[in-house]
Amino acid sequence: MSKEWSIWEGCKAGDPLSQRQLYEQYKSRLMGLCRRYAASREEAQDMLQDAFVKIFQRMNQVEAPDKLFAWMKSIAVRTAVDHYHRHKKHQHEDLEAAEEMSDDYEPLAMLVDDGVLVGLINQLPERSRLVFNLNVVEGYDHDEIASMLEITTATSRSQLHYAKALLKTKLKAIGILRYERIA
């Protein structure tokens, strides 16, 4: 029996030692995911804690240990979205200020240190940050994002456009003036 299988079985049985091992094994990766959605480290820690509570409560939903991380990741994303719904402010963002921008943003991760890029993304307004992360990082389409965030598909698209425009402006401010799409 593999170590992953043993931890998975132990977590399904509610074994605290197995739960601790699972937490230690995945906390950094899931914290990175939560950090992309949170406005602060403390908020990300709250999301992570909530996600692990849900993970341990619903462990019996996982069919096999090889599906565990993908399932845990989806729980963490949904927890971040739930956190947004609980804490969202009813503010309207000024979309008219966003400048036109192309879709050539993908190679940014290769040109900018991860910490800098995450910091810039975290400076985005809350809804734009969520839409950007859900679409660009997690790969959800606009219909799925609209359903999760209880917004229209058009709003999802405009929030993504706004996020990209803000990121472009912030990148220019730190000296990245031009970048090219990787073929």
pLDDT digits 0-9 by tens, 57-82: 999 998 888 899 999 999 999 999 88
* C-alpha pair distances (Å), 42 with each of 11, 19, 36, 45: 26, 22, 12, 5
CA atoms of 47 and 45, how far apart (whole Å)? 5
Alpha carbons 86 and 47: distance in angstroms, whole number: 12
Of 81, 12, 79, the closest CA to residue 49 belongs to 79
The answer to the question of residue 181 being in a domain is no
Instruction: Tell me how far apart the alpha carbons of residues 117 and 143 are, in angstroms, rounded to a whole number.
Output: 26
Number of H helices, E strands in the chain: 9, 0
Considering 68, 87, 106, which residue would you say is the last residue of a domain? 87
Can you give the pLDDT at residue 178?
55
**pLDDT tens by residue, 149-167:** 999 999 999 999 999 999 8
Cα 113 off chain centre by: 18
User: Among the three residues 87, 103, 130, which one is the final residue of a domain in this structure?
Assistant: 87
* Listed residues 31, 65, 87: the one ending a domain: 87
Q: Are residues 14 and 45 in the same domain?
A: yes
The total number of structural domains that make up the chain: 2
Residues 169/97, Cβ–Cβ less than 8 Å? no
Q: What is the pTM for the complete model shown?
A: 0.64
